[in-house]
Amino acid sequence: MKPLYNLVVLFFPFISIAQTPTSHNVDASDYMVFSPSDLTINQGDTVYFENLSTHNAVEVSEETYNNDGTASNGGFELYSDGYIVFEEVGTHYYVCTPHVQMGMKGTITVQGNPIQGQWYADIGDYVEITSNNFTIYIFDEEDCYEIEEYTYELNGNSMTLFDDGFEINVEVLNITPSSFSLSGPEDDIINLESATFDASEWVECDNESSWYCINESCFEDMDGEGEFDSLEECEFMCETIIQITYDCISAGECLVVMDGSGEFFTYEECEASCSGVVEDSWNCYNDACVDPLDGSGNYQSLEECEANCNIIEVTFDCISAGICMEVMDGTGEFSSIDECLTNCIPIEDSWNCIDDACLDPLDGSGEFSTLNDCEQVCQNISSISENLIDVSIFPNPSSNIFNLEFNSDSKSEIIVTNVLGEQVYIESTQSIGDFDTQIDLSNYSTGVYNLTIKTSYGISNQKLILQ
């Protein structure tokens, strides 16, 4: 029997039924943090996002990610617990749009398959590896080949081969673009070099079935390499014939029971009975109730879990006039957003005369309590009447971009200042009539800003609320 085939067969004492594809969890329950915030996975892996009740996960461009922006790049968007299967190799950037300014963002790096291709083993066999299949072409004394086909999963340096529900574990070592090695539990080493071949040019051997005895049970070998030519001979030679059985250990997962005590006599029977809908259940994790999705939770209802889990209530603080922020540790002044907004009273309007223009400092510290009083003092300044300029701002409040539309019979100047009177945006227009533009404040801190539109007729002042 060839060494590579021996390597595969000798692994059978370590067999179990194949598990579900590799998956990873990203938890959003900690204070303004994704855990882990940087995750590296393999192509085809699944990532489950948990505890998104007060957060979301929106994929953005690298530039938006670096600038703490929130604009989606058209990738994945999750607004409640869910999962994503990642097939595209590369780095995926994502943020929590309400909390990105507080540092709540993360990356998922998807690795490609380093061993995919055609290879020649140093024992004379050929191997072809695709994204899902591991095929061995075994040449013996004759000018024909025998074929062994498996599906597989690659997780780092660990590879699992699957054959009819059986799982074979090997280690992948010394990976380069042109070579790698396979190692089994008994430290058997097979070295493989990059090769190019066309299997359609070869002849497949016509072998009859045979059997081999492992752990006092007989297994059929379709390539004729088994120890015994008939099942009867195999069973006679095995000291004790024990029926292989199977047990359902969790939803969709069956385990081989080698002592014959399992509930099911075939893998198909076990799989059919083990694929039912999993009942909801919950565990208390980091002061939050989480469904493990396999029915193994300690609590059978969400209410029971919450009654026994130290749930921290979301509270709110007023951070500026009319703007409230969530406080996830329960220490906020207000128990609801409505209560916070009711008590988060806006600052009274006031004005200062600066460079012949009346400006609202937005903190109530202005010299004049009304715009009219200010304009009486400032030279050549008058309020623009409603029939000369009609200003529209939307959305307002906004998290980044404000759309500005107005109509003017003269040239205009648009200025945005912060509460300190510092200019953060300025634009001039030479056009007369309808005018529209976008004001991007995504790189500035949340708060209230003053918008001033100057024309030959006077000045219009508006408030911009950046959340």
pLDDT digit string (tens) for the chain, length 467 residues: 344 444 444 343 333 333 334 789 999 977 889 999 999 987 788 999 999 988 999 999 999 999 999 999 999 999 999 999 998 889 999 999 999 999 999 999 988 777 888 999 988 889 999 878 899 998 866 678 888 888 888 877 888 888 776 788 888 888 888 899 998 766 678 899 999 999 888 888 776 677 777 766 777 776 666 777 777 778 777 765 566 788 887 767 788 886 677 888 788 788 777 766 567 888 887 677 888 767 778 888 888 888 887 666 778 888 776 788 887 677 888 888 888 888 887 777 788 887 667 787 767 778 888 887 787 777 544 444 443 467 889 998 898 999 998 888 778 889 999 877 888 999 988 777 888 889 999 899 888 888 888 887 777 888 888 88
Give the SS3 label for residue 269: helix
Supply the pLDDT for residue 72. Answer: 94
> How many Å apart are CA 414 and CA 439, to the nearest integer?
10
The closest of 23, 201, 37, 176 to 104, measured between CA atoms, is: 37
> How many Å apart are CA 428 and CA 267, to the nearest integer?
75
Q: List all residues 6 or more positions away from 157 whose beta carbon is below 8 Å from its beta carbon.
A: 171, 172, 173, 175
333 Rama sector, left if φ>0, alpha if ψ -120 to 50, beta otherwise:
alpha
For residue 233, give the H/E element and its range.
Answer: helix 231-237
Question: Which of 96, 111, 126 is the last residue before a domain boundary?
Answer: 111
The closest of 109, 150, 106 to 132, measured between CA atoms, is: 150
CB 91 within 8 A of CB 108: yes
Q: Which ranges of 309-348 does DSSP label H, i.e. alpha helix?
A: 337-343
How many residues in total does the chain contain? 467
Identify the residue whose tokens are 């004492």.
13
Supply the pLDDT for residue 28. Answer: 92
CATH code of 441's domain? 2.60.40.1930
Supply the pLDDT for residue 146. Answer: 83
Q: From the CA atom positions of the chain, what is the Rg in Å? A: 34
In a domain, 302, yes or no: no
Supply the pLDDT for residue 55. Answer: 93
Phi, then psi, of 271 in degrees rounded to 5:
-60, -40
* 43: exposed, middle or buried (Cβ count in 10 Å: 0-12, 13-18, 19+): middle
In a domain, 393, yes or no: yes
Pairing of strands 288-290, 82-85: unpaired
Question: Which of 87, 111, 135 is the last residue before a domain boundary?
Answer: 111
CATH code of 34's domain? 2.60.40.420
The closest of 139, 191, 161, 207 to 10, measured between CA atoms, is: 161
The closest of 230, 222, 268 to 248, measured between CA atoms, is: 268
For residue 273, give the H/E element and its range.
Answer: helix 267-273
Pairing of strands 412-417, 46-50: unpaired
Q: Residue 169's beta-bridge partner residues?
A: 160
> How many Å apart are CA 171 and CA 181, to the nearest integer?
8
CB 171 within 8 A of CB 183: yes
In a domain, 85, yes or no: yes
In a domain, 152, yes or no: no
CB 217 within 8 A of CB 201: no
In a domain, 129, yes or no: no
> How many Å apart are CA 443 and CA 128, to the nearest integer?
51
Residue 100 token pair: 């990105």
Q: List all residues 6 or more positions away from 161 whose beta carbon is below 8 Å from its beta carbon.
A: 8, 11, 134, 150, 151, 152, 167, 168, 169, 170
* 333: exposed, middle or buried (Cβ count in 10 Å: 0-12, 13-18, 19+): middle
Give the SS3 label for residue 237: helix
> How many Å apart are CA 248 and CA 56, to the nearest integer?
35
In a domain, 226, yes or no: no
Which domain does 40 fall in, by range?
Answer: 23-111
In a domain, 143, yes or no: no
> How many Å apart are CA 375 and CA 360, to the nearest integer?
12
In a domain, 347, yes or no: no
> How many Å apart are CA 172 and CA 154, to the nearest integer?
9
CB 32 within 8 A of CB 52: no
Question: Which of 58, 76, 111 is the last residue before a domain boundary?
Answer: 111
Q: What pTM, to 2 d.p., does this model score?
A: 0.32
Number of domains composing the chain: 2
Supply the pLDDT for residue 354. Answer: 78
The closest of 38, 70, 75 to 55, measured between CA atoms, is: 70
